[in-house]
Amino acid sequence: MKAFEYAQPTTQAEALALLSPEPGKCELLAGGSDLVGLLEKMVLTPDRVVNIAEIDSMQQIEADEIGGGVAIGAAVHLDDALDSPLLAMYPAMMQVISGLGSMQAQAQSTVGGDLFRRPSCWYFRSGNGLLAGGGQMVALGDNRFHAILGNDGPAKFVSASRLAPALIALGATARVIGPTIDDEEFLPLEELYRTPSREGQRETALLPNQVVSHVILPPGEGTSGIYEAKHGAGPGDPMAAAAAALRIEGGVVREAKIVLGQVAPTPWVSREAARAIVGQRVTPETAAAAGRAAVAKAAPVRYRPSEGQHPPSGTVH
Partner 1 sequence: MEKTPGKTGFSRRAFLKGSSAAAAATALATAPDVAEAHQVGTAVLAGPTVIVLTVNGKDHKVNVEPRTTLLEVLRYQLDLTGAKPVSGDGSSGASTVLVDGKPMMASTLLAVAVRGKKIETVEGRGGEKTPDAVQKAFVQYDAQQCGFCTPGFVVATRAFLDKNPKATEADIRGGLNGNICRCGTYANVIQAAIAVAKGGGNG
Q: With binding defined as CB under 8 A, does residue 201 bind partner 1? A: no
List 19, 28, 44, 51, residue binding partner 1 (CB under 8 A) = 51
What is the maximum alpha-carbon separation in the chain? 60
Its sign, for the CA torsion 87, 91, 94, 96, is negative
List 25, 54, 194, 308, residue binding partner 1 (CB under 8 A) = 54
Q: With binding defined as CB under 8 A, does residue 53 bind partner 1? A: yes
Q: With binding defined as CB under 8 A, does residue 272 bind partner 1? A: no
Q: With binding defined as CB under 8 A, does residue 180 bind partner 1? A: no
> With the CA atoms of 76, 107, 68 and 206 taken in that order, what torsion angle do they form, in degrees rounded to the nearest 10?
50
List 27, 69, 97, 108, residue binding partner 1 (CB under 8 A) = 108
Q: With binding defined as CB under 8 A, does residue 5 bind partner 1? A: yes
Q: With binding defined as CB under 8 A, does residue 182 bind partner 1? A: no
CB of 59 or CB of 136, closer to partner 1:
59
CB of 49 or CB of 131, closer to partner 1:
49
List 26, 76, 176, 293, residue binding partner 1 (CB under 8 A) = 76
Q: With binding defined as CB under 8 A, does residue 102 bind partner 1? A: yes
Q: With binding defined as CB under 8 A, does residue 288 bind partner 1? A: no
- Three-state SS for the chain is CCCCEEECCCCHHHHHHHCCCCCCCEEEECCCCCHHHHHHCCCCCCCEEEECCCCHHHCCEEECCCCCCEEEECCCEHHHHHHCHHHCCCHHHHHHHHCCCCHHHHHHCEHHHHHCCCCCCHHHHCCCCCCCCCCHHHHHCCCCCCCCCCCCCCCCCCCCCCHHHHHHHCCCEEEEECCCCCCEEEEEHHHHECCCCCECECCECCCCCCEEEEEEECCCCCEEEEEEECCCCCCCCCCEEEEEEEEEECCEEEEEEEEEECCCCCCEECHHHHHHHCCCECCHHHHHHHHHHHHCCCCCCCCCCCCCCCCCCCCCC
Q: With binding defined as CB under 8 A, does residue 36 bind partner 1? A: yes
User: What residues between 210 and 239 interact with partner 1 by CB under 8 A?
Assistant: 233-236
Q: With binding defined as CB under 8 A, does residue 11 bind partner 1? A: yes
What x/- string results for residues 79 through 98 when contact with partner 1 is judged by CB under 8 A?
xx------------------
CB of 50 or CB of 245, closer to partner 1:
50
Sole window of 73-81, 153-161, 268-276, 296-304 interacting with partner 1 (rule: CB under 8 A): 73-81
Q: With binding defined as CB under 8 A, does residue 56 bind partner 1? A: yes
| Residues at the interface with partner 1 (CB under 8 A) | 1-11, 14, 17-18, 29, 31-41, 48-49, 51, 53-54, 56, 59, 76-77, 79-80, 101-105, 107-108, 233-236, 316
